[in-house]
Chains A and B, each alone.
Chain A
Amino acid sequence: MGVMPWSAARAAELIEQYRSQAGPCLPILHALQEEFGHVPSEAVPMVAEALNLSRAEVHGVVSFYHEFRRTPPGRHVLKLCRAEACQSVGTDRLAAEVKAHFGIGFHETTADGKLTLEPVFCLGNCACGPAAMLDDRVLGRVDLKKIEQHLARHVAEERKA
């Protein structure tokens, strides 16, 4: 996940790129989050200005959606499915193991900044649960070992890059 440091100029560029669309608010917020890893608070007044909204309105949109985050995530993000189909094959137990192993709860990041853990409600992989998503990669029939293996691979790729 290539996350760039905050740049007002770059944010302005992204806002400009999407503002002429019909209903541009979500596309802009997605673009900002993709660039900076989160929706920086500095960007909120810029979006409000561009879309002729109040800051409170933009803030209201950002906070309504689970996908948008207001603080930067760790270098990797693990989303664990917590919905019913995955529950039926033990996702609750897996979640407890993952939390204990990495020493973090949901919505938290490890102290070394390596991993953020998020809950997610269904990844459409419900016949092969427990399901997870590490960065953009969906994983099926996961256990702690599989998560560790994939994380090691992602970390290695990150070093190479």
Chain B
Amino acid sequence: MTRIFVPIDSTALSLDAEEVAEALAQGLQRKGAQAEIVRNGSRGLFWLEPLVEVETPAGRVGYGPVTPADVPGLLAANFLEGGEHPLRLGLVEEIPYLKRQQRLTFARCGIVDPLSLSDYEAHGGYRGLAKALTLEPAAIVEAVTVSGLRGRGGAGFPTGIKWKTVLGAASDQKYIVCNADEGDSGTFADRLLLEGDPFVLIEGMTIAGVAVGATQGFVYIRSEYPHSFRTFKQAVQIARDEGKLGRRILGSPHDFDIEVRLGAGAYICGEETSLLESLEGKRGVIRFKPPLPALQGLFGKPTVVNNLITLATVPFILSEGAETYRDFGMGRSRGTLPVQLAGNVKYGGLVELAFGVTLDTLINDFGGGTRSGRPLRAVQIGGPLGAYLPVSLLGLPMDYEALAAKRGMLGHGGMVLFDDSVDMARQARFAMEFCALESCGKCTPCRIGSTRGVEVLDRIIAGRDPDKQTALLRDLCEVMTDGSLCALGGLTPLPVLSALEHFPEDFKRPVPAAAE
């Protein structure tokens, strides 16, 4: 029977994929056509969503973006055989945006039925865990170390070293915690995987559990992602029913299970210690470090806290080999990075490529520039705590160290484009406002400093005494940088100062004449 794929990813749904699927089902029934509608994840080519694919002998042929109103025309054009139609995109795998990528972590995303274990296994799933089960725990940790994998949650800490600490800690109970809080604006890689290939996370967490001796995992998903939460919970239940979670997984002596938890709309709960507090049922206030979560984490027990993409990359490393993974990338940034093109971008979506690709290639070759068609003016990389970079820096490569050298930040790999209508003083103000809104309140420079920062920027925007106010703003940023306990207060100066450095003209307003 012909298989048709209609994505069930949040972004596709936000552009009426559900209505398209319904129209298709009705249209097929009316025609008496035999076809199965599979609800896949998204390939992450969002300007084409809803991207409907049809399986043909030549491969999967795509049509998009499809609206419910297009469905009768598609059926009339014989799209079940891959027929001609203005929305026809040809073989999806041949679309340059996709073909030019190096998809390792996202290899299956958008291809498989996210809730079909057999589909997952048919596409290489559970080979990594099978391999891990033949190894000693220390050898699994060693493979992750050799791969060069660094945490994808933002700080870029070597994953193998973190695991080694937890492996070496003696305890009756250890935990694996997956950070799926994904609070940064411009990022959606975690969400895509939760909705498009959830078993890869389950497999990655299980490998982590076997490696460090943890039998229980928690996945903390932000409450802004209700659809991901539902999908992932279903996936966990399916995995449990099929013996992939629970006691003696895959017939081995290892036990491992996963609980899925919902956040409650606090950006700071993406920070690992705050996340642990939240999981324990408390206010998400940052903990002092040390002790490291690796030694005293959830409920005081040794805990691996990793970002979702970090954990989801582990199955590939085990199944294909640490060296294979390490051979991608540049310098100390090894492997691939799922970049997320967002904001005012023509071709927004997910681009997984080896580290080292330039911002220019991503923004202009893949992204096609701005959606508005106006000149690009600024790009913010790494979420609300990341720097705003000007067009003159687009030659920079995606690499932790190269960006840091220009006082930028890679963060979770999100890139947000702004055209020339952007007001950078207002963006700086927003960074301060966001910090004030989301501060956990533990330290004064962050809690009070951010509120003062908003006031100072308001005066700058109003053109009142800009030189003096700008000096004050720099002072304030210094106090926040040096005096904050965590990166929320400590990094908010990054977007603020980068805006000031690269776009000084926006901070020099003419003093309003006879203001009333």
A interface with B by C-beta (< 8 Å): 21-27, 29-30, 51, 60-61, 64-68, 83-89, 120-129, 131, 133, 136-141
Q: Name the residue in B371, B380, B417 with the highest tally of chain A Cβ atoms < 10 Å from its Cβ.
A: B371
Cα A86 to Cα B344 with chains together (Å): 8
**Given A88-B344, A126-B414, A127-B340; A29-B264 close (CB under 8 Å):** yes
B283 & A60 in contact (Cβ 8 Å cutoff): yes
Cα A71 to Cα B161 with chains together (Å): 46
B427 & A84 in contact (Cβ 8 Å cutoff): yes
**Given A122-B185, A140-B15; A66-B266 close (CB under 8 Å):** yes
Chain A CB within 8 A of B93 CB: no
A131, closest chain B residue (CB): B14
Cα A51 to Cα B281 with chains together (Å): 10
Q: A25, A124, A139: which contacts B191 (Cβ < 8 A)?
A: A124
Interface positions of B from 443 to 460, Cβ below 8 Å from A: none
Q: Can you list 29 residue pairs at the A/B interface with Cβ under 8 Å?
A: A23-B281, A24-B281, A26-B261, A26-B264, A26-B279, A27-B262, A64-B266, A65-B265, A66-B265, A67-B263, A68-B264, A83-B384, A84-B343, A84-B380, A86-B343, A88-B418, A120-B265, A121-B434, A122-B183, A124-B11, A124-B188, A124-B225, A126-B185, A126-B186, A127-B11, A127-B348, A129-B343, A137-B13, A138-B14
A85 & B185 in contact (Cβ 8 Å cutoff): yes
Cα A84 to Cα B381 with chains together (Å): 11
Cα A3 to Cα B183 with chains together (Å): 28
Q: B182, B183, B281, B342: which contacts A85 (Cβ < 8 A)?
A: B342
Interface positions of B from 257 to 276, Cβ below 8 Å from A: 259, 261-267
B419 & A67 in contact (Cβ 8 Å cutoff): no
**Chain B residues with CB under 8 A of A84:** 185-186, 343, 380, 384, 416, 427, 430
Chain A CB within 8 A of B165 CB: no
Encode B31-53 as 1/0 by CB contact (under 8 A) with A. 00000000000000011010000
A138 & B10 in contact (Cβ 8 Å cutoff): yes
Cα A29 to Cα B223 with chains together (Å): 13
**Chain B residues with CB under 8 A of A29:** 264
Encode B160-201 as 1/0 by CB contact (under 8 A) with A. 000000000000000000000011111110110000000000
Chain A CB within 8 A of B313 CB: no
**Chain B residues with CB under 8 A of A137:** 13-14
B185 & A125 in contact (Cβ 8 Å cutoff): no
Cα A141 to Cα B283 with chains together (Å): 34
Nearest-CB distance from A72 to chain B (Å)? 18
B342 & A27 in contact (Cβ 8 Å cutoff): no
Cα A30 to Cα B229 with chains together (Å): 13
B224 & A123 in contact (Cβ 8 Å cutoff): yes
Report the 5 A-B pairs with minimum CB-CB distance, sorted nearest first. A127-B348, A25-B281, A67-B265, A65-B264, A83-B185
**Chain B residues with CB under 8 A of A21:** 259
Chain A CB within 8 A of B226 CB: yes
Cα A30 to Cα B281 with chains together (Å): 12
**Given A30-B264, A65-B266, A66-B264; A85-B280 close (CB under 8 Å):** no
A125 & B340 in contact (Cβ 8 Å cutoff): no
For this complex, into which size category does the number of interface residues on chain B fall? Answer: 35 or more
Cα A99 to Cα B227 with chains together (Å): 27
Cα A23 to Cα B223 with chains together (Å): 17
**Given A66-B265, A83-B185; A89-B343 close (CB under 8 Å):** yes
Cα A89 to Cα B185 with chains together (Å): 13
Chain A CB within 8 A of B312 CB: no
B431, closest chain A residue (CB): A84
Q: B262, B280, B430: which contacts A87 (Cβ < 8 A)?
A: B430
Cα A131 to Cα B283 with chains together (Å): 28
A126 & B283 in contact (Cβ 8 Å cutoff): no
**Chain A residues with CB under 8 A of B430:** 84, 87
Chain A CB within 8 A of B282 CB: yes
Q: B183, B281, B348: which contacts A121 (Cβ < 8 A)?
A: B183
A61 & B281 in contact (Cβ 8 Å cutoff): yes
Cα A121 to Cα B372 with chains together (Å): 22
Q: B259, B264, B416: which contacts A88 (Cβ < 8 A)?
A: B416
A89 & B264 in contact (Cβ 8 Å cutoff): no
Interface positions of B from 325 to 361, Cβ below 8 Å from A: 340-345, 348-349
Chain A CB within 8 A of B284 CB: yes
Chain A CB within 8 A of B278 CB: yes
A65, closest chain B residue (CB): B264
**Chain B residues with CB under 8 A of A51:** 281
**Chain B residues with CB under 8 A of A64:** 266, 283-284
**Chain B residues with CB under 8 A of A126:** 185-188, 340, 342-343, 348, 414, 416
A88 & B14 in contact (Cβ 8 Å cutoff): no
Nearest-CB distance from B442 to chain A (Å)? 12
Cα A83 to Cα B437 with chains together (Å): 12
**Chain B residues with CB under 8 A of A87:** 427, 430
**Chain A residues with CB under 8 A of B157:** none
B418 & A67 in contact (Cβ 8 Å cutoff): no
Cα A88 to Cα B11 with chains together (Å): 18
**Chain B residues with CB under 8 A of A68:** 264
Nearest-CB distance from A106 to chain B (Å)? 12
Cα A139 to Cα B10 with chains together (Å): 9
**Chain A residues with CB under 8 A of B280:** 23, 25
Nearest-CB distance from A29 to chain B (Å)? 7
**Given A88-B422, A121-B183, A122-B185; A23-B224 close (CB under 8 Å):** no
A127 & B261 in contact (Cβ 8 Å cutoff): no
**Chain A residues with CB under 8 A of B384:** 83-84
Cα A126 to Cα B279 with chains together (Å): 27
Cα A135 to Cα B481 with chains together (Å): 39
Q: Name the residue in A120, A122, A125, A129 with the highest tally of chain B Cβ atoms < 10 Å from its Cβ.
A: A122
Cα A61 to Cα B282 with chains together (Å): 6
Q: Name the residue in B184, B185, B186 with the highest tally of chain A Cβ atoms < 10 Å from its Cβ.
A: B185
**Given A83-B185, A84-B185, A126-B187; A26-B262 close (CB under 8 Å):** yes
Interface positions of B from 226 to 261, Cβ below 8 Å from A: 226-228, 259, 261
